[in-house]
Chains A and B, each alone.
Chain A
Amino acid sequence: MAVPLTRSTPLRTDARPAAGGWGFVKPSVIPGFGVTFGYALTYLSLIVLIPIAALFLKAASISPERLLEIATDERTLRALITSFGSSLLAALVNVVFGVIIAWVLVRYKFPGKRVLDAIVDLPFALPTAVAGIALSALYAPKGWIGSLFSPKGPLNLWIDAQLWLPEWIRAVEINFKIAYTPTGIVVALIFIGLPFVVRTVQPVLEEFEQELEEAAATLGANRWQTITRVILPRLTPAVLTGFALAFARAVGEYGSVIFIAGNIPYVSEIAPLLIIIRLEEFDQPAAATVAAIMLVIAFLMLLVINLIQAWSRRRFDDAV
Chain B
Amino acid sequence: MPYDESDVLVYDSRRAPEAPDKHLRATSEAAWVRRSLIGIAVAFMLLVLVLPLALVFTEAFKKGFGVFLESLADRHALAAIRLTLLVAAIAVPLNLVFGVAAAWAIAKFEFKGKAFLTTLIDLPFSVSPVVSGLVYVLLFGAQGLLGPWLQANNIEIIFAVPGIVLATVFVTFPFVARELIPLMQAQGSGDEEAALSLGASGWQAFWRVTLPNIKWGLLYGVLLCNARAMGEFGAVAVVSGHIRGKTTTMPLHIEILYNEYNFAAAFAVASLLAMLALVTLVIKAVLEFRFGEELAATRRH
Contact = CB atoms under 8 A, between A and B. Distances in A.
B301 A196 contact: yes
A163 to B, nearest CB: 30
Contacts of B206: 32
Nearest to A51: B135
Given A127-B231, A279-B238, A194 B49 contact: yes
28 contacts: A22-B110, A26-B110, A28-B109, A29-B197, A30-B192, A32-B105, A37-B105, A44-B102, A44-B117, A52-B123, A54-B135, A97-B48, A100-B40, A126-B273, A128-B233, A130-B56, A133-B254, A133-B267, A196-B301, A200-B300, A252-B129, A252-B130, A254-B237, A255-B251, A288-B134, A288-B138, A301-B126, A302-B119
Interface stretch (A6-14, A115-123, A152-160): A115-123
A22 B230 CA distance: 44
A130 B119 contact: no
Interface residues of A, number: 104
Contact of A122 (B49, B131, B137, B250): B49
B126 A302 contact: yes
A104 B124 CA distance: 32
B53 A134 contact: yes
A55 B102 contact: no
B29 interface: yes
- Chain A at the B interface: SS class: helix
A272 interface: yes
A178 interface: no
A272 B233 CA distance: 12
Contacts, number: 304
A24 B114 CA distance: 10
Nearest to B100: A36
Name the residue among A31, A51, A195, A275 with the largest chain B CB count within 10 angstroms: A51
Interface of A: 22, 24-26, 28-33, 35-37, 39-41, 43-44, 47-52, 54-55, 57-58, 97, 100-101, 103-105, 107-108, 110, 112, 114, 116-135, 137-138, 143-145, 190-191, 194-196, 199-200, 202-203, 210, 213-214, 217-218, 223, 248, 251-255, 259, 271-273, 275-276, 279, 282, 284, 287-288, 291, 294-295, 298-299, 301-302, 306
B41 A294 contact: no
B220 to A, nearest CB: 12
Contacts of B109: 25-26, 28, 30, 33, 37
